[in-house]
Amino acid sequence: MAKVASPELVQRLERALRLFPELGDGPVTVGVTASRWLDGLAYPSERLIRLNPYRRRMVTYFTIGHELTHLLQPPGMALLPSGEVQCDIWTLARDPLFLDEKPCYLQVDCDGRSWRRHAHAVRALCRQAIDERSRNRRYIVWLRGQLTEYFSRPAPHQPSLFGTLTSTPP
């Protein structure tokens, strides 16, 4: 990774790593994934993540956070439940920094362009889902229901900059 990492990517990695105190002072190895189709991969038992700096203009904080979150799942540190959807939930809940991209595995009913309008609400629901998990092992089903409800609400009416337009006969 050292050969291909831009200064901005190194800065992103350092900033994201600071948000994972569970990883302690032990080394986390960052490499380049051999697959041109993947944004990233994680090998939790080796404390290794691989990122793809070629696939897009910049590796997102979400991708970095998602792969670092995998290190906290089994067979790594086993601090979080395993699974890709679980990884998305815990990544989004961790910090607003990781809201720069729509999640990959947690289905949200918006496109990438409108994600920013919904990101903080989805993050709040992810945080609630983690709390819900303490009393309900079907917390992902609960979260999906909450997301469906959230995205089915009508968009709030925004007043027109031009006032109410009425048609007048010609």
pLDDT band at 10 (very low <50, low <70, confident <90, very high): very high
Query: Has residue 115 been placed in a domain?
Result: yes
CA distance 34 to 12: 21
Query: Has residue 164 been placed in a domain?
Result: no
pLDDT at residue 87 in the model:
98
Q: Are 49 and 71 in contact (CB under 8 A)?
A: yes
Q: Is residue 156's pLDDT more than 90?
A: no
Q: How many structural domains does the chain have?
A: 1
Helices 115-133 and 84-94 pack at an angle, to 10 degrees, of 110
- Peptide bond between residue 75 and the one before it cis (omega within 30 degrees of 0): yes
Torsion of CA 141, 146, 149, 152, to 10 degrees: -90
- Reported as a single tens digit per residue, the pLDDT across 31-78 is 999 888 899 999 999 999 999 999 888 999 999 999 999 999 999 999
Query: Has residue 167 been placed in a domain?
Result: no
Query: Has residue 170 been placed in a domain?
Result: no
Mean pLDDT (the chain, rounded): 92
Query: Has residue 50 been placed in a domain?
Result: yes
The domain in which residue 104 lies consists of: 7-151
Q: Global pTM?
A: 0.89
Helices (H), 6-160: 7-18, 61-70, 84-94, 115-133, 139-152
CA distance 104 to 55: 15
Consecutive H or E run containing 42: strand 40-43
* Side-chain-facing half-sphere of 121: CA atoms under 13 Å: 15
- For residues 116-130, give the mean pLDDT: 97
Q: Which of 87-91, 100-104, 163-167 has the lowest mean pLDDT?
A: 163-167
- Residue 90: which residues within 8 A CB-CB, separation 6 or more? 69, 72, 80, 126, 130
Query: Has residue 2 been placed in a domain?
Result: no
Query: Has residue 169 been placed in a domain?
Result: no
Query: Has residue 47 been placed in a domain?
Result: yes
pLDDT band at 166 (very low <50, low <70, confident <90, very high): low
pLDDT at residue 33 in the model:
92
